[in-house]
A = this chain, B = another copy of it.
Amino acid sequence: MSGDPVLGYPVVVGPGALDRVAAIARGRGHRRAVVLADANVESYARRAAASFDGAVPLRTFTLGEERKTLTTLGSVYDALAELEVDRGTLVVGVGGGVAGDLFGFAAATFMRGVAFLNVATSLVAMVDAAIGGKTAIDLPAGKNLAGAFADPVAVVSDVRALETLPPAQIREGLGEMVKHAVLDGEAAFAQLEHWASESFERWPWAELIERNVGVKAAVVARDRLERGDRELLNLGHTFAHAFERDSRYALSHGNAVALGLRAAGIAARTWGPWSDRDQQRLVALLRALELPTSYGGLDVGGVLSAMRADKKRREGRLRFVLPRALGDVVSGIEIDDKEVREAVERCTR
């Protein structure tokens, strides 16, 4: 188990890591545990539970983004109470991004905070959602509107879990990987360009995931509570969240991020030094990864008003995170409504 000195907790990436959950927990001082899981990954959850000595209780929940709600949170709280979880118990959460956000928030607030270990089983969770200590649920008014900053005691990503995922679910994580590559720079971007033409089975997942964790960890460590630098991770996301909302979530988050990255690139072209060539490489990479670069089912006005409602607003003004070059991304940029509209329009036709 290698700890991550930047994050302050270990991120264990590798084949078979699921069977080492108890050992990782023990390494962090935890012996008593309960396991909560997305019902879709119950078999993985059983393996994580079986890695502990004795009977570790396991509860599964039907999840999905539309169930990342206060109501489901209530069911999770009830389960924690029923399992007699107290401040000495470790809560192990198994699943993708929704599971990590929801179980993580429940653990962060049950009895005002019990320890949480995040077992990520989707690509998007491994490269993004599980890293950085943000937990949340959605509210009727918007995504991730209630939550907590709470670091897990460890993140465990068993890359073998990716082998059983359908390509569409793998693709859910690729948008964030492209975002991280733009933040990281030329080498990371070229690496993705290289693998884009290969089938997923051949990808060096452990290496790629660790690189993504490293990029995100470096940004997060500079700004744990999201007061400044961490906004860089919102590259493409002000657009993406609005695309998602206007589609009533018919557009998945991963696909929305791909569209959002293209939109941010378009806006960056009119604003700064981001070049035509940079933008062409970005669009070509998204296409090589079979991610969408336009989506017809959106209403431009609806996207723009969703954007205004976006929680990243500050003092009523919309600020954007835009690339200047590969490896050079800046936040807090105000751009004209006209240019925002132009970027949205080009991604919606």
Contacts and interface: CB of A to CB of B under 8 A. Distances in A.
A168 interface: no
A277 interface: no
A140 B74 CA distance: 9
Interface string A225-241: 11000000000000000
Contacts of A147: 109, 111-112
A56 to B, nearest CB: 16
Nearest to A70: B74
A105 B108 CA distance: 12
A145 interface: yes
Contacts of A82: 141
B113 A77 contact: no
Interface in A91-121: 105, 108-113
Interface stretch (A38-46, A184-192, A309-317, A332-340): A309-317
A148 B148 contact: yes
Q: Indicate the member of A108, A109, A311, A313 with the most B CB atoms within 10 Å.
A: A109
A311 B77 CA distance: 13
Interface size bucket, A side?
20 to 34
A3 interface: no
A299 interface: no
Contact of A139 (B81, B86, B139): B81
A90 to B, nearest CB: 13
Indicate how many identical chains form the complex: 2
A225 B150 CA distance: 14
A87 B139 contact: no
A77 B70 contact: yes
A101 to B, nearest CB: 11
A111 B311 contact: yes
Contacts of A81: 139-142, 145
A50 interface: no
A140 B147 CA distance: 21
B70 A113 contact: no
B73 A148 contact: no
Q: Indicate the member of A73, A108, A226, A311 with the most B CB atoms within 10 Å.
A: A311
Given A78-B139, A78-B141, A141-B82, A314 B87 contact: yes
A107 B126 CA distance: 29
A113 B146 contact: no
A7 B93 CA distance: 34
A88 interface: yes
A180 interface: no
Interface string A192-218: 000000000000000000000000000
Given A78-B139, A81-B139, A139-B77, A145 B311 contact: no
Given A88-B315, A109-B109, A111-B311, 11 more contacts: A70-B74, A70-B77, A77-B145, A77-B146, A78-B139, A81-B145, A109-B146, A109-B147, A110-B146, A112-B147, A148-B148
29 contacts: A70-B73, A70-B74, A74-B139, A77-B139, A77-B141, A77-B145, A77-B146, A78-B140, A78-B141, A81-B139, A81-B140, A86-B311, A86-B313, A86-B314, A87-B314, A88-B314, A105-B109, A109-B109, A109-B148, A110-B145, A110-B146, A111-B147, A112-B136, A112-B146, A112-B147, A112-B148, A112-B149, A113-B225, A148-B148
